Amino acid sequence: MKINPKIFILFPDGVGLRNFAFTQFKEIGEQQGFDITYWNNTVFSLEEQLGYKELKIASTKIHPKTPVLSHARKRVELALSRKRTKDKVYPTYRFPLKWNGLKNILKSAFVKIHETFSTTPKGWQSLMDQMNAAERSTKRYQELKAQLEEHQPDLVFCTTQRATQAIAPLLAAKDLGIKTACWIYSWDNLPKGMTTVETDYYFVWSELMKEQLLEYYPKTKEEQIFVTGTPQFEPHYDSSILLERKRFCEHHGLKEQTKYICFSGDDETTSPLDQYYLEDTAIAVRKLREEGRDVAIIYRKVPIDFTGRYDAVLEAYKDVITPIDPLWKPMGEQWNQVMPTKEDFALLVNTCYHCELVVNICSSMVFDFVIHGKPTIYPNYEQPQLKKGIRDIGQNYKYVHFRSMPDYKTSVTWAMNKSEIYDGIKGLLDGDLDPVPMTQKWYGIVNKPEQPEKASERIWDGIKEILS
């Protein structure tokens, strides 16, 4: 490896900020002798906000064909998985096609035709080739290629595999003979057909994700994959950001002696009736308070939810619920222009540390809490407000990534009906229930179990290996 190899960290969108800008990832890389530039396609200025060296991508305009080609690719991929495994879960990952208006009819028809007649590896590859050809034909591709020719990085590391915005930058790098690598963003992404780009190397959280990458993308070879753990959880191991109980409570208007339960909100797609699960939790907490227990709820909303759907519940139960909003900043008018901040990492860590447990619909928040030895309640029952056209949350728990649980019944505390939220909270507070050891085992399956706080170091070690 040459002295001070130049690495471009590509942000096609804002999801990678938490892992690769707000952790110690950059500092660790610089300590290892890398020259790091953030190749930034987002509205978040890393130079202005963090003082990091960045190269802005001026044009974010992808080819008009790319979204529909990518949608068809995903549908074909899911159909291939269904055909190969005979597993009915894969069609449930599909978003419904739109048939209103001529433009939507033409797009949906294109997707449906390919899903029906192109469900072969060759058909999948044809869609990938068409998508790549479309992106190579854009002015944006030429601009990106010119940037690479000017700066000549040794490797482009993409912070998510999901974004169509990443296709042109990575193709430009490949066409210039520059090595490319990609981070698989989330623990559930591989079975869901969410890999939009192909790179020379891939970095994954766990051995399980490595197996999935080889299964779902058989073109990939074992030597292309690095298992590193994820930087996502690294801040939980940094004791310097923990606040004393008194200071945390004073800052958020909480009571030191009260035991707090976190209700972590979900997005509207995953849990469209989430507000009613918050209400059920508030009813359970009120009952516990009537029994003489000093308990209350901290409500942390999902950062991209601006629907106002929780407002009535927050008002009706303000005696037991204190909202603490995530410290994300709107950088534009779209939902994907709401960006995380470094300060929110500290807020999340302290919320986990100072709460007794979390109630949440099926997110990876279970792992944030178990790092601190705190349990999770997963509600898994229908709300009476459920009607045709509204998604049942029970579908989420059937997804492939939940099969990673070492024991489905005991890896978390399940609430299979409304009253079991009360039973779960009471049992966990009294110590009659203790899912934490099994949850910790689960965490060791979805993440690298050895020294999970050193994921960033292992990523840089992998990059060093690639370059040498």
Give the pLDDT score at 269: 87
- Whether 397 has a pLDDT exceeding 70, the answer reads yes
Q: What is the mean pLDDT of residues 436-464?
A: 97
Q: What does the alpha-carbon distance between residue 14 and residue 165 come to, in Å, rounded to a whole number? A: 11
Share of the chain above pLDDT 90, in %: 90
- Cα separation, 243 vs 245, in Å, equals 6
Whether CATH 3.20.20.10 fits 236-446: no
Instruction: Inform me whether the pLDDT recorded for 447 exceeds 70.
Output: yes
Mean pLDDT, all residues of the chain: 95
pLDDT for 332: 60
Q: Please give the model's pTM, rounded to 2 decimal places.
A: 0.95
pLDDT value at position 330? 73
Would you identify the CATH topology of the domain 6-62+138-230+452-467?
A: Rossmann fold (3.40.50)
Residues of the chain with CATH 3.40.50.2000: 6-62+138-230+452-467, 236-446
**Residue 57 pLDDT exceeds 60:** yes
Cβ(205)–Cβ(187) under 8 Å?
yes
- The yes-or-no verdict on residue 333 having pLDDT over 80 is no
* Alpha-carbon Rg for the chain in angstroms: 23
Burial state string for 412-427 with b = 16 or more CB within 10 A and e = fewer than 16: bbbbeebebbbbbbbb
Say yes or no to pLDDT of 342 above 60.
Answer: yes
Using an 8 Å Cβ cutoff, are 7 and 148 in contact?
no
